[in-house]
Amino acid sequence: MGLTSPALSYVLAVVTAGVLLGVILAWRRLAGPGTRAIALRAVCQLAVQACALALIFVLVNGSGEFYSSWSDLLGLDHGAAQVQATAGVSTASVRPVVLTGKTSVRAAGDGAAAGVLESVRLYGELSGLSVPGAVYLPPGYPAARPPGGYPVILEISNAIDSTTSPYGSDRLAGIAAMLIAAHRMAPALVVMLPATLGPGDDGCLDVAGRPATTQLAGVAPTLAQTFFATDLPAILQSRYDASVSASRWALLADGSGGYCALHLALTTSWQFSAAVVPPGSYTAPPGGAVRSPELARQDDLIWLLHHQPMPPVSVLFVGSASDIGFGRAEPLAELARPPMRVSQTPLGTGGSPLTGVLGWIAKAIGGAPEEQ
């Protein structure tokens, strides 16, 4: 009878009950004086205990499947084996960066040439997402690589292709070029990506797909958070000499990418140390991602600040003067405790409203490298 077969436990249960009953019935005959009677009592007791313990052991072993057979229990299994490779060797995979265009950047103001703006398509090897965007390379790149690699400003906005929005890639690159030329900012990569990476999500969350059913077609998952927090750092560090230290990474977003950027800053603060977003309540992601109640609860950034340790990030709320005045970011700002820092400032005016903001980012990621 196998060690793990149910029959063994039944047999042991019946035997245990039988032995127990026998002892209870024969009790009087063993109650006499004399060593022989005492010895018989002891034997009876040991028989009861042995049966019971055997039963318990078989039950415990059955619940955990620790020992699969008698030979396994007794240590008689000695079969050996070799490590076998089962999947083929690595083949060339999808290229992580595809260059689709290249323009030189003219600094805002004096129009001097300063750096290059690459149009790219980035492929995330974990998320499988292929994302169009732009990367600003500062003057001197890559030869003038700072020790530890280039700082990174990651802009997340659906307006990156706009030529009129201050968040458009051309204008943002122009301001970065101007600040770098004026030595108000250390040379940095500015990476501009859209906030919406797939259907059903505008908050760059990891949104699971839906398995196909008889009625509905399946929906592929969109792992947007995985793309931003895991894939993107890998691409930028291996292809663009980006810094590996979170203290050199900042996020910048307008209304379309604000939730995305703040969510990344609060939940993946080992990757980002500063974020500039418009003021808002941030209690739910934008877009129509259908989430279970528990997932929706932790999508509420106020809830997160109540329930997780304070992330070591600096957040700057930037909006029109009226936004700041009405204190839409107050609930979040009041919750923040060190090491998290929150400040607010009105958006600048004039032709380059983001100049002051980029200056703030330059300070935030330009300090002495943090001990990781």
Partner 1 sequence: MGLTDGAFVTFMIAMAIAGLAAVLWLWPRVAGATVRAVAARIGLVAVSEVLVIAAFLVCLNSYFSFYSSWSALLGGSSAKVVGTSATAGRRSVSLLTVTAAGPAPLPGAAVRDLQRIRPTSAAGGGFALASRDQDVSADLARTGELLSFSVTGKYTGISETGDYIYLPPQYFQPAYARSKFPAVLALTGYPGSPWSFVARLRLPTEIATVARAGKVRPAVYVLMNSSVAMPRDTECTNIPAGPQVETFFTVDVPRAIEQAFRVQSGPGGWGALGVSTGGYCAVKMAMMDPRQYPVAVSLAGYYTALQDHTTGDLYGGSIGYRDENSPDWRLTHLPPPPVSVLVTSSVIGEQTYHGTLAFLRLIRPPMRGYSLILPDGGHNFRTWDRELPASLEWLSQRLRPAVPN
The residues in 78-117 that bind partner 1, with binding defined as CB under 8 A, are: 78-91, 93-94
Residue 205's identity, in one-letter code, is L
Q: Is the peptide bond before 339 cis (omega within 30 degrees of 0)?
A: yes
The Cα–Cα gap between 9 and 5 comes to 7
Cα 207 vs. chain centroid, distance in angstroms? 12
Q: Is 303 in the site for partner 1 (CB under 8 A)?
A: yes
Cβ-contact 282, 302 below 8 angstroms:
yes
Closest CB to partner 1 among residues 13, 116: 13
Q: Which region among 273-281, 296-304, 326-334, 344-352 touches partner 1 (by CB under 8 A)?
A: 296-304
Q: Which region among 176-184, 188-196, 204-212, 320-328 touches partner 1 (by CB under 8 A)?
A: 204-212
Q: Which region among 60-68, 111-119, 189-197, 349-357 touches partner 1 (by CB under 8 A)?
A: 60-68
With CB under 8 A as the contact rule, the residue among 106, 121, 145, 210 that binds partner 1 is 210
Closest CB to partner 1 among residues 163, 292: 292
Q: Minimum distance between the CB of residue 299 and partner 1, rounded to whole angstroms? A: 9
Q: Is 34 in the site for partner 1 (CB under 8 A)?
A: no
Q: Is 72 in the site for partner 1 (CB under 8 A)?
A: yes
Cβ-contact 206, 198 below 8 angstroms:
no
Q: Is 27 in the site for partner 1 (CB under 8 A)?
A: yes
The 8-class DSSP code of residue 227 comes to I
- Which residues 114-153 are close enough to bind partner 1 by CB under 8 A? 125-128
The 8-class DSSP code of residue 32 comes to S
Nearest alpha carbon to residue 157 among 115, 125, 202, 187: 202
The Cα–Cα gap between 279 and 305 comes to 16
The Cα–Cα gap between 95 and 238 comes to 12
- Which residues 37-56 are close enough to bind partner 1 by CB under 8 A? 38, 41-42, 45, 48-49, 52-53, 56
Q: Is 60 in the site for partner 1 (CB under 8 A)?
A: yes
- Which residues 337-366 are close enough to bind partner 1 by CB under 8 A? 337-339
Cβ-contact 306, 266 below 8 angstroms:
no
Q: Minimum distance between the CB of residue 152 and partner 1, rounded to whole angstroms? A: 16
Q: Minimum distance between the CB of residue 86 and partner 1, rounded to whole angstroms? A: 5
For 116, residues 6+ apart whose C-beta sits below 8 A from its C-beta are: 102, 103, 104, 105, 136, 137, 141
- Which residues 4-23 are close enough to bind partner 1 by CB under 8 A? 20, 23
CA distances from 352 to 108, 156, 191 (A): 8, 18, 18
The Cα–Cα gap between 266 and 280 comes to 15
- Which residues 224-243 are close enough to bind partner 1 by CB under 8 A? 226, 230, 233-234
Closest CB to partner 1 among residues 310, 342: 310
Cβ-contact 189, 236 below 8 angstroms:
yes
Closest CB to partner 1 among residues 142, 309: 309
Closest CB to partner 1 among residues 244, 347: 244
Q: Minimum distance between the CB of residue 302 and partner 1, rounded to whole angstroms? A: 11
The Cα–Cα gap between 53 and 31 comes to 25
Q: Is 206 in the site for partner 1 (CB under 8 A)?
A: yes
